[in-house]
Every structure is written in structure tokens, then in C-alpha cells.
């Protein structure tokens, strides 16, 4: 039975048996007991489903994974310690030294650092493209060692909207995995698998948890990529000596998720904790309601800012004049999310003065939870980047990132209005 997203939000990932707790228990245990040696051996051999050690799987984490996989329409999901660990583990599942990633340049600052500084030290290089570039230009970056094409549905903090179908068709033509970071859209506003993506990544620290309470990340395997016989993905087609000669491409479903868990989670261990999985599972109960409100509030705030004489520019795809308005009509028809960026006229000092004058909206590194907050990326999340890199990432120096919460829109606008008076 396939339910709609609002139903999956409250019912997905956990179905109690008679007499069991209505919501998933927090299974705060590292390990699980078995009476028969063979039962445990079968688990180690992946011949049976079950739990033996919480670094690999835990029932509370599994409930959250099930809910996110169902919301995205994926085959399997893996709960990770954070969004960054989800990204790192996903890359390591397919990339080795000598391989490369072809990535949109409009991405989260942490991901940009991972791709441009940390991974190259391990021999994995990234070639960046402008997400608005024509397909032929992006294709030129691909070679025989390209293992991943990557972009963000709604880019953080440039609010660019990704043309999923354009990238999916390039990826399909060359037999390459197409991975989408869907953090700021969430599966409520966009499901990348329905546009041809093969992997979806989330920082669940944002809207999925929704309350700024729990760090987490999720890797969702679409189960729709033909690994079998694809020479580009040799590691899926040869026996894994560290797993009794298992050939991942031969698995009936979700070979990416199985390889990621069996190798990367096993060896690197950056798994989600049961406590954070519980909070994130619970947070998702209201995800559909919250995304609706985040989107309608942000639309009102964007319209207000766009009409303010002290505002230089506003980026939110709900604005009819926005460069991504058309793409948003296609990919985000039910709402364009709560994230917007804008620039205040004048020098960079004006941004600081504005932010410090806010009373309701707080200054935080975080985004995408119930409470409205602002950040100045050039002096915080993106401060490692040079002026040129900032421009390449689509982050002007005066950019203020505003994460619109679910408060009353009029109160948010009144606060912004008061703070703009002091500029």
C-alpha cells in the first residue's frame, strides 16, 4: 500500500506489533543477544536481517531510516552522524584515489570544503560546474574516472534551483550515479528520484528534525542504478574480499546502501545515535505541515523585502522575477522552502548592524528549523573561501541568509522592518 507524504510523515518507518509502544522506543544499547551461534553468523554474512551491533544497525535508527526512505520513494536509507558524514560516506562508497566527482559549484560551504580541500588529499578530485551551464559544457568535465554527479535541489545559501532532469540525462548517458542533496527542499517539496536521481542525501539536522535538537544525516539509495556490468563501478562488480566475496551488483535491491553499510559504516562508524534518530523520527511527524508554513512565510517575507528601498536584491524562487522561478514551478510546485538570501545596500558593515538590531530573529550558524534565524556566510560558514571562491559559490559578500521559521509571518516581517530602520 502506498500512502501519500502527509500520511508517511506520521506513520512511516515504524509499525508496532500488538502490545508494543506506539512510537519507536529509544534502543539505547550497543549490542543484542542471541542464543544460537548460527543466528549471529547469519547476520554477519548478511543472510538474515537483524541487529547485532549498533555501529551497523539499531532499531531506533532503522525506524528513522524507514521513514525517510519511504518519503523519498527510495529502496533503503542509512542514518548517519551528520549531513557531512552522510556525504563523506556516500563518496567513499564509490570513489577511490584517482576518481573524480563532477559537482555543481552552488553548494553548502562544508560540502565545498570536503570536495575541494579534504578529498583531494586522499586523491579524489572534484570538477565544479555552474549549475546554469548548458549540458554540453557540464559533460566536458566527465571522464572515465568520474563516479558521481552532484548538486543541491535548493542550494545553500545561493538558493539556486537545480535542474534535475538536465543532470539526470547527462548521468544516464554516461552511466554515472546522480546524487542530490535534498536538505533544503526535503521530500515534501521535491522527490529527486522521480526526476532521475539515483542517490539522495540529507542533513537531517535541518528540516527533518526541524527543532534544532539533533544532528544527523541520511543517505537514501534509489535502488534504480544499473551497477551490474558497468565497468565504471568495478568495485560493485568484483567480489568484496572483506565480505566473503559478496558482489554488490548482484544484490536484488539497494546495492549502494548495502555496500555503504557493509564497508563504510563498518570501517568508519559515523552512524546516527539512537537518541538523535528518535528526535528526528518524531520531528518528521510534522514535516509536511512545517514545510507548507515555512514556504508560505518565506514567500511573504521575500515579497516584503523585495519592496524595501534599503534592500539591494532578494533571492527566493517564489518571486516572479527570480531567475529560478520557472525551474521552481517545475520542481517545487507546492512551495519553495523557507530559505532566502538578500543583500542590504551599502557596505558589509550594514549587514552586521542589521543582524544585531534583530530582536525575534536570532543569529545562528543553523538553518531550517522552526525558529527564524539569520547568518552572514562571508564571515562564518564561508569564511574559508577566497573572494573568487565566494563568487564561484554564488555568495556575494553582503549576502544575508535568512531561514524563515514557522512563527507568524507578520511578527517576522515586523522584526525585519525594525532592524532595517537602524541601517
Ligand X SMILES: *Cc1c(COP(=O)(O)O)cnc(C)c1O
DSSP state for residue 9 in the 8-state scheme: H
- What residues from 156 to 175 belong to the interface with ligand X (CB under 6 A)? 156
Residue with the three cell numbers 541520511? 218
The nearest distance, CB 190 to ligand X, in angstroms, is 13
**Does the footprint of ligand X cover residue 335 (CB under 6 A)?**
no
Buried b vs exposed e over 62-92: b needs ≥16 C-beta within 10 Å?
Answer: bbbbbbbbbbbbbbbbbbbbbbbbbbbbbbb
- What residues from 206 to 225 belong to the interface with ligand X (CB under 6 A)? 206, 215, 217
Distance CA 339, CA 154 (A): 9
**Minimum CB distance to ligand X smaller for 70 or for 375:** 375
Which segment (6-14, 198-206, 229-237, 272-280) binds ligand X by CB under 6 A?
198-206
Binding-residue total with ligand X (CB under 6 A): 16
**Does the footprint of ligand X cover residue 277 (CB under 6 A)?**
no
> Which of 90, 159, 161, 184 touches ligand X (CB under 6 A)?
184
Distance CA 291, CA 339 (A): 11
**Minimum CB distance to ligand X smaller for 255 or for 377:** 377
- What residues from 391 to 420 belong to the interface with ligand X (CB under 6 A)? none
**Minimum CB distance to ligand X smaller for 7 or for 380:** 380
**Minimum CB distance to ligand X smaller for 116 or for 350:** 116
**Does the footprint of ligand X cover residue 205 (CB under 6 A)?**
yes
**Minimum CB distance to ligand X smaller for 215 or for 279:** 215
**Does the footprint of ligand X cover residue 152 (CB under 6 A)?**
yes
> Which of 181, 209, 221, 369 touches ligand X (CB under 6 A)?
181
- What residues from 100 to 119 belong to the interface with ligand X (CB under 6 A)? 108, 110-111
Which segment (138-146, 201-209, 302-310, 348-356) binds ligand X by CB under 6 A?
201-209
Residue with the three cell numbers 508496532? 16
The nearest distance, CB 158 to ligand X, in angstroms, is 11
Q: Angle CA(105)–CA(111)–CA(135) in degrees, nearest 5?
A: 30
Distance CA 71, CA 8 (A): 6
**Does the footprint of ligand X cover residue 83 (CB under 6 A)?**
yes
The nearest distance, CB 156 to ligand X, in angstroms, is 4
Q: Whole-angstrom distance between the N-terminal and C-terminal Cα of the chain?
A: 55
The nearest distance, CB 154 to ligand X, in angstroms, is 8
CA distances from 122 to 72, 115, 262, 263, 268 (A): 31, 11, 21, 17, 15
The nearest distance, CB 117 to ligand X, in angstroms, is 15
Which segment (7-15, 200-208, 301-309, 327-335) binds ligand X by CB under 6 A?
200-208
**Minimum CB distance to ligand X smaller for 70 or for 84:** 84
- The 10 Å Cβ neighbour count of residue 357 is 15
**Minimum CB distance to ligand X smaller for 113 or for 296:** 113
**Minimum CB distance to ligand X smaller for 205 or for 297:** 205
**Minimum CB distance to ligand X smaller for 110 or for 346:** 110
Grid coordinates representing 371 are 525558529
> Which of 126, 158, 186, 203 touches ligand X (CB under 6 A)?
203
Grid coordinates representing 293 are 508554513
Grid coordinates representing 137 are 559544457
**Minimum CB distance to ligand X smaller for 115 or for 342:** 115
Distance CA 207, CA 392 (A): 26
Distance CA 404, CA 367 (A): 9
Is-contact 362 338, C-beta < 8 A? no
Distance CA 220, CA 187 (A): 11
Classify strands 373-375 and 362-363 as parallel, antiparallel or unpaired: parallel
In the chain, what are the helix, strand and coil shares in percent, each to the nearest 5?
A: 40, 15, 45
> Which of 27, 61, 84, 340 touches ligand X (CB under 6 A)?
84
The residues that bridge with 127 in the sheet, in sequence order, are 102
CA distances from 115 to 66, 142, 391, 400 (A): 29, 16, 17, 24
**Minimum CB distance to ligand X smaller for 276 or for 297:** 276
Which segment (50-58, 76-84, 124-132, 349-357) binds ligand X by CB under 6 A?
76-84
- For ligand X, the binding residues (CB under 6 A) are 82-84, 108, 110-111, 152, 156, 181, 183-184, 203, 205-206, 215, 217
Amino acid at each position: 500500500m502506498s500512502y501519500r507524504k502527509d500520511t508517511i510523515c506520521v506513520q512511516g518507518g515504524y509499525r508496532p506489533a500488538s502490545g508494543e509502544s506506539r512510537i519507536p522506543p529509544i534502543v539505547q544499547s550497543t549490542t543484542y543477544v542471541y542464543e544460537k551461534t548460527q543466528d549471529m553468523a547469519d547476520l554477519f554474512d548478511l543472510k538474515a536481517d537483524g541487529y547485532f551491533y549498533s555501529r551497523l544497525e539499531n532499531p531506533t535508527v532503522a525506524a528513522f531510516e524507514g521513514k525517510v526512505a519511504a518519503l523519498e520513494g527510495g529502496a533503503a536509507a542509512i542514518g548517519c552522524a551528520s549531513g557531512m558524514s552522510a556525504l563523506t560516506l556516500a563518496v567513499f562508497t564509490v570513489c577511490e584515489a584517482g576518481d573524480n566527482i563532477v559537482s555543481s559549484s552552488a553548494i553548502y560551504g562544508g560540502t565545498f570544503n570536503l570536495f575541494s580541500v579534504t578529498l583531494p588529499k586522499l586523491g579524489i578530485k572534484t570538477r565544479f560546474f555552474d549549475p546554469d551551464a548548458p549540458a554540453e559544457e557540464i559533460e566536458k568535465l566527465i571522464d572515465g574516472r568520474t563516479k558521481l554527479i552532484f548538486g543541491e535541489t535548493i542550494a545553500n545559501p545561493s538558493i539556486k534551483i537545480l535542474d534535475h532532469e538536465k543532470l539526470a540525462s547527462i548521468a544516464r548517458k554516461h552511466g554515472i550515479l546522480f546524487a542530490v542533496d535534498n536538505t533544503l527542499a526535503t521530500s515534501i517539496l521535491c522527490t529527486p528520484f522521480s526526476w532521475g536521481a539515483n542517490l539522495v542525501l540529507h542533513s537531517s539536522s535541518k528540516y527533518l528534525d526541524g527543532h534544532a535538537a539533533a544532528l544527523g544525516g541520511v543517505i537514501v539509495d534509489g535502488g534504480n542504478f544499473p551497477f551490474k556490468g558497468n565497468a565504471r563501478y568495478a568495485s560493485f562488480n568484483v567480489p568484496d574480499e572483506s565480505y566473503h566475496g559478496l558482489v554488490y551488483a548482484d544484490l536484488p535491491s539497494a546495492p549502494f546502501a548495502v555496500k555503504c553499510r557493509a564497508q563504510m559504516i563498518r570501517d568508519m562508524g559515523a552512524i546516527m545515535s539512537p537518541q538523535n534518530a528518535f528526535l528526528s523520527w518524531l520531528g518528521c511527524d510534522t514535516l509536511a505541515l512545517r514545510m507548507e508554513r515555512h514556504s508560505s512565510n518565506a514567500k511573504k517575507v521575500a515579497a516584503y523585502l523585495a519592496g524595501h528601498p534599503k534592500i539591494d536584491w532578494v533571492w527566493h524562487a517564489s518571486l516572479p522575477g527570480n531567475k529560478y522561478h520557472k525551474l521552481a514551478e517545475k520542481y517545487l510546485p507546492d512551495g519553495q522552502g523557507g530559505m532566502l538570501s538578500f543583500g542590504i545596500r551599502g557596505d558589509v558593515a550594514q549587514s552586521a548592524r542589521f543582524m544585531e538590531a534583530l530582536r525575534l530573529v536570532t543569529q545562528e550558524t543553523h538553518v531550517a528549523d522552526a525558529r527564524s534565524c539569520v547568518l552572514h556566510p562571508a564571515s562564518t560558514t564561508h569564511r574559508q573561501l577566497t573572494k573568487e571562491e565566494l563568487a564561484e559559490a554564488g555568495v556575494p559578500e553582503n549576502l544575508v541568509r535568512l531561514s524563515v521559521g514557522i512563527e507568524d509571518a507578520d511578527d517576522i516581517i515586523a522584526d525585519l522592518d525594525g532592524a532595517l530602520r537602524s541601517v
